[in-house]
Chains A and B, each alone.
Chain A
Amino acid sequence: MSAAPAPRESRRAEALESFRVRGMPHRRFEHWRYSDLRAVLDAGQVAQSGTANWQIERVPEGVELFDLAKPAAPEWVVRHLGNIGNRPTMEEASLAFADGGAALRVARGRKIAEPVRIQISSTGNLRLLVVLEEKASLTLYESHTVDAGLLRNVGVEVSLAPGAELMQVRSAPPMPRSFAIEHIAVVAAENAHYKAHFANFGSRLSRTELHILLQGEGSEAHLSGVTVLGGENHADVTSHIEHVAGRTLSTQLFKHIAGGKSRAVYQGKITVREGADGSDSRQTAKALLMSERAEVDLKPELIIFADDVKCAHGAAVGDLDADSLFYLRSRGISEREARRLLVHAFLEEAVAAIEDGALRESVWRDVESALPRAMEAAR
């Protein structure tokens, strides 16, 4: 695969050209049907929004950090940056226009217990690169501040060597006036595990797109997330997991709550390539509609070229269960509290996928603060 890596600058020039030719994604693009970005934002605005800020307060011992704004990038940065995944148009934009970002590496065999906490603020494009060498493990917590201004466009690349494990948790607060785009490209070698949880509270248009290549035998991807939307917020999670090698496993569990006039989108595409025998993929997406004017679009998709695979998917949109509501109220619990309890119970399964206790608590806090608006009907 690896020919002589192109230098960073030529790769950026390539990305710029590619973005210029392809332009903004819009509803006629495959998988942008429910999130027409071109209708609300033009390419010039993306180019002019510059580079977003990032901050890591503490770099745990054993983690190597390189600031992408600096010259003379180390070899591992040059080798991977802009080289992972199929680079859709908004990722090209972040590569072309971001003058900075963070690159993290964990050396072979190092298991980092303390999460790396990266906070992203202000408007603009940004690049993140995570490289885990053989059997290394890391937890990455990505939080966003509300001052996104017009646009936050983050391109994340993850390279997992054999046996490496990354747990990524992202929580972005509601940003009703901003556009928030994030593209995550992951390549997993043999027995590597990529786990991620996305807590989405929506923006004017919010898109989280994942492209995961389960390239090595026995590699796994486990995605989970909660989307809690109120007002007119929008959140779109679109994933594409490709089972390239045999005995690969992917699971997805996404729970959505949509109130007000919000719109939640989940599109999960699974491709099982020829020869990926013994692969197993499961995806579940469920949604509760809290308002007649909210909208939820759930779209699981399976493309299978191999024999001997197990694939299961399910999607369901509903209202809170009337029997459960009555049961709780008949025990003296107010309707409001009963609804809150049931919504909490609905989300529990997905939040429980976050292994780190402190991060799980932190996501619950964000969920709690977003719930009152999400449980409102449209005004």
Chain B
Amino acid sequence: MMLEIKDLHAVVDGKEILKGLTLSMKAGEVHAIMGPNGSGKSTLSYVLAGREGYEVTSGSITYDGHDLLTMKTEERAAKGVFLAMQYPVEIPGVTTLTFLKTALNAQRRARGENELDAMNVLKFVRQKATALQVTEEMLKRALNVGFSGGEKKRLEILQLSLFEPKLAILDETDSGLDIDALKLVAEGVNALRTPQRGMLVITHYQRLLNYIVPDRVHVLAGGRIVAEGGKELALELEAEGYANIAREPA
């Protein structure tokens, strides 16, 4: 197993959000996590990435044989965990290219690889950026500042393709995208499906899963997985709504 989450409980601001979540995923698979608002989807993604303030009170997460919960946020990234965020932050004063170079080299350094110089970073970024329609002009601008919703999400996927993580978590990547932007992002993601990489696609709506077809679908409600199935489960959810499937046992 690439990722094994067992009986995970997590608390945010003194409130328990994840209440015994169990899930496992093999390398090369794409799993979708669907659930209504407030079910704990974003909390799960933050716990996986190691955000401060998301406290795991019990349970375990094993990633690639490591105890993920003992690793710092940046160590997780260097070991191949990547979270494409629902709301990428804007950082005035740091250009996108500088950010990408700093992040790339920080990860390479952590893995004992040699750093890339500015020229080679630019070459590498350009080579990947075209397919995602990330322009030179965007690279020169301050990180995410003044970017449209679609541009922000494309930049997240560009990072996915640059950092080449083993585990990619896509948190509501479809939110705020029109259909053309969605297709472009989905194509980018599909191009990155490899037998070595696992992807966890977190979404509220089934729409994204028409374009990124999952191997398995998990339904998250009330902080735990309440239903699991193949890709057809997503369609059922779309037809019947969460209320019928996600009802907690009495």
Q: How many angstroms between the C-alpha atoms of A338 and B49 in the bound complex?
A: 16
Is A345's CB under 8 angstroms from B93's CB? yes
Is B93's CB under 8 angstroms from A348's CB? yes
* Minimum distance in angstroms from A336 CB to a CB of chain B: 10
Q: How many angstroms between the C-alpha atoms of A323 and B106 in the bound complex?
A: 19
Among B85, B92, B103, find the residue whose CB has the most chain A CB atoms closer than 10 A.
B103
Q: How many angstroms between the C-alpha atoms of A334 and B163 in the bound complex?
A: 16
Interface residues on B, range: 20 to 34
Is A330's CB under 8 angstroms from B102's CB? no
B88 at the interface (CB under 8 A from A): yes
Is B93's CB under 8 angstroms from A327's CB? no
The chain B residue sitting closest to A334, CB to CB, is B74
* Minimum distance in angstroms from B21 CB to a CB of chain A: 20
Given A330-B83, A331-B159, A344-B94, A324 and B89 touching (CB < 8 A)?
Answer: yes
A305 at the interface (CB under 8 A from B): no
List B contacts of A332 (CB < 8 A).
74, 77-78, 103, 106-107, 110, 163
List B contacts of A338 (CB < 8 A).
74
B22 at the interface (CB under 8 A from A): no
A312 at the interface (CB under 8 A from B): no
* Minimum distance in angstroms from B142 CB to a CB of chain A: 8
B207 at the interface (CB under 8 A from A): no
Among A327, A335, A346, A347, contact of B88 (Cβ-Cβ < 8 Å): A327
The chain A residue sitting closest to B76, CB to CB, is A330
* Minimum distance in angstroms from A143 CB to a CB of chain B: 25
Given A327-B88, A332-B163, A333-B102, A349 and B93 touching (CB < 8 A)?
Answer: yes
List B contacts of A4 (CB < 8 A).
none
Summarize A's interface: helix, strand, loop or mixed: helix
The chain B residue sitting closest to A325, CB to CB, is B52
List B contacts of A346 (CB < 8 A).
93
* Minimum distance in angstroms from A335 CB to a CB of chain B: 7
* Minimum distance in angstroms from B82 CB to a CB of chain A: 8
The chain B residue sitting closest to A343, CB to CB, is B93
A329 at the interface (CB under 8 A from B): yes
A368 at the interface (CB under 8 A from B): no
B91 at the interface (CB under 8 A from A): yes
Is A344's CB under 8 angstroms from B106's CB? no
Segment 201-240 of B: residues with Cβ below 8 Å from A: none
Given A337-B102, A341-B102, A330 and B73 touching (CB < 8 A)?
Answer: yes
Is B91's CB under 8 angstroms from A342's CB? yes
* Minimum distance in angstroms from B210 CB to a CB of chain A: 28
The chain A residue sitting closest to B111, CB to CB, is A332
Interface flags for B51-87 (1: CB within 8 Å of A; 0: not) read 1100000000000000000001110111000110100
Q: How many angstroms between the C-alpha atoms of A344 and B77 in the bound complex?
A: 23
Interface flags for A338-373 (1: CB within 8 Å of B; 0: not) read 100110111111000000000000000000000000
Is A330's CB under 8 angstroms from B94's CB? no
A76 at the interface (CB under 8 A from B): no
B50 at the interface (CB under 8 A from A): yes
List B contacts of A328 (CB < 8 A).
91, 99, 103
Known: A330-B85, A333-B106, A338-B74. 17 other contacts (CB 8 A): A326-B49, A326-B51, A326-B52, A327-B89, A327-B91, A329-B72, A330-B50, A330-B51, A330-B83, A331-B77, A331-B99, A331-B103, A331-B159, A332-B103, A335-B74, A344-B93, A348-B92
Instruction: List 10 A-B pairs, Cβ < 8 Å.
Output: A321-B89, A329-B72, A330-B76, A333-B102, A337-B102, A337-B106, A341-B99, A342-B94, A348-B93, A349-B93
Give the interface of B toward A (CB within 8 A).
49-52, 72-74, 76-78, 82-83, 85, 88-89, 91-94, 99, 102-103, 106-107, 110, 159, 163
